[in-house]
Amino acid sequence: MDLYDSVVARTVERGGTAVALGGLDSGKTSFCRMCAAVAVRLGSTVAYVDSDVGQSTVGPPTTIGLKFISSADDLEPERLARADAIYFVGSTSPKGHMLPMVIGAMKLVEQARAAGADLIVVDTTGFIHGTQGQVLKIHKVEALRPEAVIGFQRGGELEPILGSVRRMLPPEVDALSVDPAVEATSVEERASLRQEGLRRFFEPPLNHWKVKTSVFVPSIPPELDPASLDRLLVGLEDGKGNCIGLGILEHREDGLRMISTEGEGAKALRLGSVRVTEDFGTTGVDLRDIFISD
């Protein structure tokens, strides 16, 4: 048995929560799916928490997703994409969204724990570099309280994070070398995967709503021109702490409207930081630029 297989076996046997860390194209998702596949074959209750808001495996881009895996079929990409629960971060990158990234992952891991999952695998973004990357991953590990952290690296790029976790926090840490067979995904492919993920989530039939400006979180300044909210992505909140779907705002002459994946039940709209084109392309927006009064 090679090192990779033995880390998979140990992760499954240990159970609890296991967080996969690594840069872009380092094998994080493959590892999570492999562990989930082995565990489900052995009869364990498995949950997959996907906190990668860009290259999403569970749920649409801009969200963190939770999927309970009850059979090998649930690990097929199309099935895995259909989340049991999502948390709206509203961005395809963690930059500037550290709090929702950590809180969202923590909420969904807690939900999986409360449901009695034997193994919770946590997939993450490739945002590991610099102080920001370290700050995000260390706080995420601290918040998720995993039993294990599995790092994938080419050189020593993850050492600052793994070293801090080893020094400071309880999980067992395994470092694996990225398999040379791992293929890179180009920037264009990544953008097109995000686009497809959103398109799939916004599959018709869709709902059209009039939107009151009082429902936004964060609340919008009274002097804000509603036209600046046109095509902004929003998360639909049910008022009990759950995200029930996504919407796209549309500014019309007669007021603000929303195309949404849900018919009813939204009590608040969390404002995202991306605009969505008609064909589901995304561009980042800084809400502070819209809320000029800040």
Ligand X SMILES: Nc1ncnc2c1ncn2[C@@H]1O[C@H](COP(=O)(O)OP(=O)(O)OP(=O)(O)O)[C@@H](O)[C@H]1O
As measured in angstroms, the least distance from the Cβ of 105 to Mg ion is 14
Which of 27, 65, 197, 272 is in the footprint of ligand X by CB under 6 A? 27
As measured in angstroms, the least distance from the Cβ of 261 to ligand X is 24
As measured in angstroms, the least distance from the Cβ of 130 to ligand X is 17
Give Cα 70 distance to the centre of its chain: 21
- Binding status of residue 2 toward ligand X by CB under 6 A: no
Among the candidate windows 79-87, 101-109, 182-190, 225-233, which touches ligand X by CB under 6 A? 182-190
Give Cα 223 distance to the centre of its chain: 33
- Binding status of residue 26 toward ligand X by CB under 6 A: yes
- Give the residue with the Cβ less far from ligand X, 135 or 178: 178
As measured in angstroms, the least distance from the Cβ of 29 to ligand X is 3
Encoded one letter per residue, x for contact with Mg ion by CB under 5 A and - for no contact, window 27-66 reads: -xx-------------------------x-----------
User: What angle do helix axes 130-144 and 159-168 make, rounded to 10 degrees?
Assistant: 40
Collapsing DSSP to helix, strand or coil, 24 comes out as: coil
Partner that binds at residue 91, options ligand X, Mg ion, none, CB closer than 5 to 8 Å by kind: none
CA-to-CA distance for 18 and 147, rounded, in angstroms?
6
Handedness of CA 182, 200, 241, 120 (dihedral sign): negative
Q: Which residues of 71-88 are buried (b: 16+ CB within 10 A; e: fewer)?
A: eeebbeeeebbebbbbbb
Q: Which of residues 197-216 bind Mg ion (CB under 5 A)?
A: none
Which token pair is 152? 């994938």
Residues touching Mg ion, count (CB under 5 A): 3
As measured in angstroms, the least distance from the Cβ of 182 to Mg ion is 11
Kindly report the number of other CB atoms within 10 A of residue 33's CB atom: 19
Q: What are phi and psi of 178, to 5 degrees?
A: -65, 130
CA-to-CA distance for 286 and 53, rounded, in angstroms?
17
Which token pair is 289? 């630029």
Encoded one letter per residue, x for contact with Mg ion by CB under 5 A and - for no contact, window 226-245 reads: --------------------
Partner that binds at residue 174, options Mg ion, ligand X, none, CB closer than 5 to 8 Å by kind: none
Binding residues (CB under 6 A) for ligand X: these are: 4, 22, 24-30, 52, 55, 126, 179, 181-183, 185
By CB under 5 A, name the binding residues for Mg ion.
28-29, 55
